[in-house]
Chain A
Amino acid sequence: MLIDITRQLNDFTLQVNAQLSTQGICAIFGRSGSGKTSLINTIAGIDTPDSGRISSIEDCFFDSEKGVNTAVHLRQIGYVFQQARLFPHYSVDANLRYGYAQKDDPDGRFFQQILVLLDITSLLKRYPNELSGGEQQRVAIGRALLRRPKLLLMDEPLASLDLPRKQELLPYLAKLNKVLKLPILYVTHSLDEVLYLADEILLIDKGQKLLHDDVETVWNHPLMQPWLNQDRQSAILHASVKEHHEKYPLTALALSHDHLLWVRKIDQPLQSAIRVRIYAKDVSITLSRLPAEQSSIRNVFLTTIEEIQTNSQNVRLKLALADNILWADITPWALDDLKLSVNQQVYAQIKGVSINHSDWANI
């Protein structure tokens, strides 16, 4: 999907030129008011850019030079809004069928599949005001999917929900893309959602594209650092499930080059690809490797210091672990005592218990 648009907004100009992949979930990430929603509104056709081009492989939706501007209802782009926007005068069933063409699904299998996927079969007869926030949003997602879009836009679909509802909905979103093979543009300002769902990140600030690449690359890029909470700096690593411990509830994740990272049990089959987040505060440094029977830390890796960032509060080390990057927060005192310098080899210790279920995601 090619997007190359300019649109004057109140405070700034939205100017984005990006080639989005036609599969997977692309997170459009940025602060509130950075132009994320405006961007997907132009893709949906709800808003019209001042100039530029929006086209998918098959269709051109907008081209200011050729004077093309396809109407919203002809674009075949699904849209899940921040609020569910269910039609109050229709039942759940009628809401779901609003954009659904029975003739494309004569045996109703697709309809059933969506009901099961989103677990909304029992809600069909109810009306929107009788549903919880999470149920409403699930129905809204189902309604958008039953329209059989070629692309799904989601504008912070979880933002209006409380934490338990978010936890409830996230797995459904992750399933969507995998089961239906539907490309999704997902607007969010939540790092957790990015980590859990996204394959690539389009980072936007004040209407401008800052970065666009896969999650790991963007996450570790210097331009991304202001968005990662300063006290909760983290690195993202690619891993696969290598083995489950026979005796203890632990799982070994293989990082690149056969480094094994032992973490709390992850209920995934062997070989599953996983993305894991490691906070800088959970990584400590030693100069020599302690024998395993003298330390509680199971994960010790030999790394190279790439960068030392100091501020008044603490010191942040950027460590290279083969192809991966780790961050470690230490005190200035420790820095002086250990006499650390760039390019020095040190052992990074990672507490396995610090990685819990919100720090990893299937990919």
Chain B
Amino acid sequence: MLTEFEIQAISLSLKVAFTAISFSLPIAILTAWLLARCQFHAKPLLDAVLHLPLVLPPVVIGYLLLVSFSPQGAIGLWLNNTFNIDISFSWQGAALASAIVSFPLMVRAIRLSFEAVDYKLEQAASTLGASKFKVFYTITLPLISPGILSGVILAFARSLGEFGATITFVSNIPEVTRTIPLAMYSFIQTPGAEDQALRLCIIAVIIALSALIASYILELKMRRKLSRN
């Protein structure tokens, strides 16, 4: 049914997206918490820098990543020397590009839900003897879980669709960095491969649709549990 080529592209895309989200989620929660709950001077600056990937052309992000993470780049050199890691032109590099472009979307969604949490419930929890940490993971975190979910879904969608930064940073290497959008791009460039492009297009639609439906059901469940007040 699916060709080996398609399976490769799909599994690579999913692998990149899941890796990107797993690494960026904890940082996104922390950043969202900082922005929603803390007052500090550099807050407007952090907010602006955070939104850069949303407004910059993806190719600029890709270029900046390429410059800093290539074996000659500052971070790339340091990574290579300290951990013997080289992520340029690898699927990890694609995950990094995905994580960066999807980060602002994730933070925005989580931040909004942080701001919506009733601080009075957290106050009540602390009068019941709960430390700040216990309050966070027993009250705050469950209450923001719908926000986390929608942040993850947004990031997942953005990651699956990521093209510009990825192709600039890690190029379009079969079996290594050729995710679904890159594979489609290759087919479109190839004369006579319109059918394959169409098939990939349908696959992309199905993945996106099922992710949205799954998140809708999950979110409904969560909200039903939380709206019991």
Interchain Cβ contacts under 8 Å between A and B, 17 examples: A46-B123, A73-B128, A73-B130, A78-B128, A85-B121, A85-B123, A87-B121, A87-B124, A88-B227, A89-B228, A98-B130, A99-B128, A99-B129, A99-B130, A129-B229, A144-B128, A147-B128
Task: Judge if B82 is at the interface, Cβ distance under 8 Å.
Answer: no
Q: Are A89 and B225 in contact (CB under 8 A)?
A: yes
Interface string of A57-84 (1 = CB under 8 A from B): 0000000000000011110111101010
Interface size class of A (residues with CB under 8 A): 20 to 34
Contacting residues, chain B, for A89 (C-beta < 8 A): 142-143, 225-226, 228
Which chain B residues (77-129) contact chain A, with CB distance < 8 Å? 120-121, 123-129
B138 partner residues in chain A, CB cutoff 8 A:
98
B127→A79 contact, CB < 8 A: yes
**A149 → B minimal CB distance (Å):** 9
Q: Are B128 and A83 in contact (CB under 8 A)?
A: no
Residue of A at shortest CB range from B123?
Answer: A46
Instruction: Flag if A147 contacts B129 (CB, 8 Å).
Output: yes
B229 lies within 8 A of A78 (CB): no
Interface residue? B3 (CB, 8 A) = no
Q: How far is the CB of A186 from chain B (nearest CB, A)?
A: 16
CB distance from B44 to the nearest CB of A (A): 27
Q: A45 to chain B: closest CB distance in Å?
A: 8
Cβ contact within 8 Å between A87 and B120: no
With a cutoff of 8 Å between Cβ atoms, the chain B residues found around residue A78 in the complex are 127-128
What distance in Å separates the Cβ of A126 from its nearest Cβ neighbour in chain B? 9
Q: A76-B129, A99-B130, A147-B129 are in contact. Are A85 and B124 (CB under 8 A)?
A: yes
A143 to chain B minimum Cβ distance, whole angstroms, is 7
B131 within 8 A of A: yes
CA distance A74 to B126 in the complex (A): 9
| Bound Cα distance A78, B126 (Å) | 10
Q: Which of A79, A130, A144 contacts B228 (CB 8 A)?
A: A130
Give the shortest distance, in Å, between B224 (CB) and chain A (any CB): 10
Residue on A nearest B134 in the bound complex, by CB: A73
What separation, in Å, do the CA atoms of A78 and B121 have in the docked complex? 14
- The 4 residue pairs across chains A and B that have the minimum distance between CB atoms: A99-B128, A88-B229, A127-B228, A129-B228
Q: State in angstroms the CA–CA spacing of A86 and B124 once bound together.
A: 8
| Chain B residue contacts of A85, Cβ below 8 A | 120-121, 123-124
Interface magnitude class on chain B = 20 to 34
The CA of A330 and the CA of B16, in the complex, are separated in Å by 89
B64 in the interface (beta carbon within 8 A): no
State the CA gap A129–B229 with chains docked (Å): 4
Given known contacts A128-B228, A128-B229, A129-B228, is B130 in contact with A87 (CB within 8 Å)?
no
CA distance A127 to B229 in the complex (A): 8
B-side interface residues toward A, CB under 8 Å? 120-121, 123-132, 138-139, 142-143, 225-229
Is A236's CB within 8 Å of the partner chain B? no
- With an 8 A cutoff between CB atoms, is A44 at the interface? yes
Q: Closest residue to A129 on the B side, CB-wise?
A: B228
Report whether A73 and B143 are in contact in the complex, using a CB–CB cutoff of 8 Å.
no
Q: What is the interface of chain A, defined by CB distance below 8 A to chain B?
A: 44, 46, 71-74, 76-79, 81, 83, 85-89, 98-99, 127-130, 143-144, 147
8 further A-B contacts with Cβ under 8 Å, apart from A88-B227, A128-B229, are A72-B126, A81-B120, A88-B228, A89-B228, A98-B138, A129-B228, A130-B228, A144-B128
Nearest-neighbour CB distance to chain A for B225, whole angstroms, equals 6
- CA gap between A96 and B128 in the complex, in Å: 10
Q: In the complex, which of the residues A77, A78, A87 has the most CB atoms of chain B within 10 Å of its own CB atom?
A: A87
- Do B228 and A81 touch (CB < 8 A)? no
A143, closest chain B residue (CB) = B128
Contact of B121 with A144 in the complex, beta carbons under 8 Å = no
Q: A76-B129, A98-B130, A147-B129 are in contact. Are A81 and B124 (CB under 8 A)?
A: yes
CA of A143 to CA of B226, assembled, Å:
19
Which residues of B have CB within 8 Å of A83? 120
Most buried by B among A73, A78, A81, A144: A73
The CA of A236 and the CA of B20, in the complex, are separated in Å by 72
Q: Which residues of B contact A87 (CB under 8 A)?
A: 121, 124-125, 139
User: Closest A-chain residue to B222, C-beta based?
Assistant: A89
CB pair B127–A98 under 8 Å, yes or no, is: no
CA distance A44 to B227 in the complex (A): 28
Q: Which of chain A's residues have a CB closer than 8 A to the CB of B229?
A: 86, 88, 128-129
Q: Report which residue of B127, B138, B139 has the largest number of chain A beta carbons within 10 angstroms of its beta carbon.
A: B127
A184 CB → nearest B CB, Å = 14
Query: How far, in angstroms, from A83 to B229 measured CA to CA in the complex?
Result: 12
Q: How far is the CA of A128 from the CA of B118 in the complex (A)?
A: 15
Option from A73, A79, A129 in Cβ contact (under 8 Å) with B227: A129
Contact check: which of B120, B121, B131, B228 meets A73 at CB < 8 Å? B131
Tell me the complex Cα distance, A77–B229, Å: 25
Complex CA gap A94/B125 in Å reads 12
List chain A residues, Cβ under 8 A from B132. Answer: 73
B residues in contact with A81, CB < 8 Å: 120, 124
| Chain B residues within 8 Å of A127, by CB | 228
A83-B120, A87-B139, A89-B143 given as contacts; is B127 within 8 A of A46 (CB)?
Answer: yes
Q: How far is the CB of B120 from chain A (nearest CB, A)?
A: 5
